[in-house]
Amino acid sequence: MNKTILWRFGLIAVVAAICLWSALPLDKKINLGLDLQGGMHLVYEVDADKAVVSSLDSEMDSLRRHMESKGVVVSSIGRDGENVRVSLPGSAQSADAEKNIGDFGAFEVTGKEDGGSTISIAYTADYRKTVADNAIDQALETLRNRVDQFGVAEPTIQREGDNRILIQLPGVQDRDRAMNLIGKTARLEFRMVNDQFAPQEALERGVPSDSELLYERKLDPITKRVLEKIPYLVKKKADMTGVLVSNARVQVNEMNMPYVSVDFNRDGARIFGDLTTASVGKRMAIVLDGNVHSAPVIREPITGGTAMIEGNFSYEEAKDLAIVLRAGALPAPLIKLEERSVGPSLGADSIRHGVMSAMIGGALVVLFMLVYYKFGGLIANVALVFNIIILLGAMAYFGATLTLPGIAGVILTIGIAVDANVLVFERIREELSLGKTVRTAVELGFSRAFLTILDTHVTTIVAAVVLFQFGTGPIKGFAITLCIGIVASIFTAVFVSRTFFLWYLASRRVAKLSI
């Protein structure tokens, strides 16, 4: 065996060994998609209007500080829907107020009342769109963090259209837990309890304008049915929010009940320390998504930078709460538009049918090549095996997910790989019919078929790249499988098949080629 053939076989062996090492064992190295292993398919819409309202609430304080720093006195500033009303002591500062509102950059004046002492403003159209877009991007990032910490392998979380988010969770069968984890807004607030009125008294006499009634729900630990709702009169304005949380973890108290321990960052620890120092003897409500989890009395200043959230949690619920607190709050509620669950039995059926189709299709192709091209067909089948090995190895290396369309891509790749060999064999036949020697016919067959093979494969790769760029979910899986398979096909049809022909012709005197 000459050196050329030797290094060719060496390269083929190295590529095959690397691919086998990368792909085996298949059940651990190849990720299965939602349609093959079951799971959940969800489509949510981000409530952009709520995101805009939430942004307005935080911007109002900034606007007030901005105007006061410019010498404009603001009597009050309040919100009605997406409109903000800025009240001045009189109309004398109306012009200055309008100028500073314009300088702030986010608002535009929509109306004036009382001679200009009350100015109605709203977000400009561009800034409102920016706020809505940012909310969706932040929701995507938050959901990715939550799902990653939940431990789902190969999830799909991507934006669809203007304000929709597609979520696919392969392997997840606990629907309720997943829905709770994804859908929870997780807005954590620390609010002081208004002890001037008892909740019942506030209900009878009217809730003070700076307060609101929130409830602590006592649930049945098994059925999760609400057994009791305890009202609390709490301040509307939060003294502190979960934005300052740096970590959250599950711990167990002396009663063997799980609770969530929350650590604050440096600023949060300082603010929480100051807050509890100034509020010793008062009650602080820990509010999550509008529900009171506990309202303990502050016995002494808490300066360690930690707090605890107690509730009637199971361990899994406490763990999920810690996950959403670590991942951060959603900027706006999510509205569920679509939910589909794929059972594992359906996935198993899909795998069985897909594998069966691939085996039958592959067997027919192998049989046809052997019958029609004889020795050439044998080499083409060997090249086909290498093609599949390279395909599986590359998929495992790049972490690609095998879906049902991906299996279709594998079957299509088998056809393309064989087709490339057919092009070569037909060129060799033509050269043999012209009276060329076997060696010359093989050389000319491969060299003249090369450009045709390259042209057809490149155009198919371009189509696959377009599918990958603009497709979603399973379409991307199909495109990835097709791209890898075509690259493998070029290698096997042009290099592997030719190497075996060269070895065959070099190892014996061949007067007639069986092709």
pLDDT digits 0-9 by tens, 318-337 = 888 888 788 777 888 888 88
**Structure tokens of 455?**
């042209």
For residue 65, name the pLDDT band (cuts at 50, 70, 90): confident
CB 436 within 8 A of CB 427: no
Burial of 370 (0-12, 13-18, 19+ CB in 10 A): middle
* Distance from the first to the final alpha carbon of the chain: 23
Q: What is the pTM of this model?
A: 0.63
pLDDT value for 506: 84
For residue 347, name the pLDDT band (cuts at 50, 70, 90): low
Mean pLDDT score across all residues of the chain: 83
For residue 474, name the pLDDT band (cuts at 50, 70, 90): low
Report how far Cα 292 is from the mean position of its chain's Cα atoms: 30
Q: What is the mean pLDDT of residues 190-208?
A: 83
- 487 versus 153: which is more confidently predicted? 487
pLDDT of 458 higher than 60: yes
pLDDT value for 473: 63
pLDDT of 345 higher than 60: no
CB 282 within 8 A of CB 302: no
pLDDT value for 13: 92
pLDDT of 252 higher than 60: yes
pLDDT value for 17: 93
- 348 versus 54: which is more confidently predicted? 54
pLDDT value for 14: 93
Residues 6+ apart with CB under 8 A from 486: 413, 416, 457, 460, 461, 464
Dihedral of alpha carbons 124, 128, 129, 133, sign: positive
Q: What is the mean pLDDT of residues 288-292?
A: 84
Nearest-angstrom CA–CA distance, 165 and 147 = 14
pLDDT value for 505: 85
Minimal CA–CA distance to 418: which of 363, 463, 462, 381? 381
pLDDT value for 176: 81
Q: What is the mean pLDDT of residues 197-205?
A: 81
pLDDT of 475 higher than 90: no
pLDDT of 85 higher than 60: yes
Nearest-angstrom CA–CA distance, 24 and 20 = 6
Nearest-angstrom CA–CA distance, 22 and 199 = 65
**Structure tokens of 477?**
């899986």
Nearest-angstrom CA–CA distance, 232 and 253 = 25
Minimal CA–CA distance to 294: which of 319, 326, 321, 274? 321
Q: What is the pLDDT of residues 352-376, one digit of tens each?
A: 777 787 788 888 888 988 898 888 8
pLDDT of 247 higher than 60: yes
Report how far Cα 195 is from the mean position of its chain's Cα atoms: 44
Q: What is the mean pLDDT of residues 75-100?
A: 84
Phi, psi of 152 (to 5 degrees): -85, 130
How many H-runs (helices) and E-runs (strands) does the chain carry? 16, 19
Q: What is the mean pLDDT of residues 465-471?
A: 80
**Structure tokens of 90?**
């009189």
- 37 versus 393: which is more confidently predicted? 393
Give the DSSP letter of residue 492.
I
